[in-house]
Amino acid sequence: MRIKIIVEGESDRIFLSNLIKFLKKQKIIKNSLKIEVEISNGSKIINRRNIKKIIENAKEDNYERILILIDKKIELGSQFRSRDCLLDVKNIYKKKILNNVNNTIEVIVVDSEIECWFVLGSEKVKNFHIHCYENARELFGTNAKIQLAKRATTKLNLIFKNRNKNKSFNHFLRKIGVYDIKNM
C-alpha cells in the first residue's frame, strides 16, 4: 500500500514524517507501508490547480490513497466562516477545491490546527482543541513553527499515548493503519 499525504507547510511535513518513522519503529504500522508526506506550500492547499497537479503526480507514481490534511481554520471563503463542524469544513473543501471527485482522495480536517497534535505531548495542557499554537509555543519555548514541529517530535511517545484526547489525530492515525493499540 502506498499513501501520499498532502499538508500545508514544512512544519506539518517534519512532524508527520517523524511520526510515521516512530510508528514504524514501534511496529505500530508495517514497515512495508509506503507513506510520503508532501507540502502544498501553505495557501496552495486551497488552490484547485496546485492540488490537482499534486494528485495527478501521486497517481502517476502509483499511490493508492491520497490524504489531504487541512486545518479547521482554513480559509475557504464566505461559506467557511460560520462552520464549526469538521465534517462541514471537509465537505466544503471537497466541493470547492476537489469538485467532489475521486474516492481515493480523503480529506482529513485537523481540529483546529496541527499544533493541537503537538501539545498532546504535554500532561499540563487540559484542552487539546483551543489555543494550541500558544500552548505549543509555551511548551516548546519557540515561536517558529518548524522548531515547534522538531521539538514536538521529541515527545512522540507521549503524543501517541494521548492520541485519544484529540479526535482528529486519532482519525488520522486510523487512516494510516493504526487501530486499537493499547497505550504504550
Q: What is the pLDDT of residues 67-115, one digit of tens each?
A: 999 887 776 665 555 456 777 777 777 887 787 666 678 888 887 788 9
Domain boundaries, the chain: 2-114+165-175
Closest to 3 (Cα-Cα) out of 81, 73, 104? 104
pLDDT exceeds 90 at position 28: yes
pLDDT exceeds 80 at position 47: yes
Closest to 20 (Cα-Cα) out of 182, 178, 181? 178
Q: How far apart are CA 93 and CA 88, in angstroms?
A: 9
How far are the Cα atoms of 4, 156, 180 from residue 45, in angstroms, in the given order? 14, 26, 31
Greater confidence (60 vs 74) lies with 60
Greater confidence (84 vs 150) lies with 150
pLDDT exceeds 80 at position 184: no
CATH number (3.10.620, 3.30.70, 3.40.50, 3.20.14) of 2-114+165-175 reads 3.40.50
Greater confidence (157 vs 127) lies with 157
Q: How far apart are CA 58 and CA 3, in angstroms?
A: 9
Give the mean model confidence (pLDDT) for residues 37-64: 88
Give the mean model confidence (pLDDT) for residues 125-135: 83
Greater confidence (81 vs 17) lies with 17
Cell reading at 68? 489531504
- The dihedrals phi and psi of 58, each to the nearest 5 degrees, come to -65, -40
Q: Give the pLDDT confidence score for residue 90 in this predicted structure.
A: 79
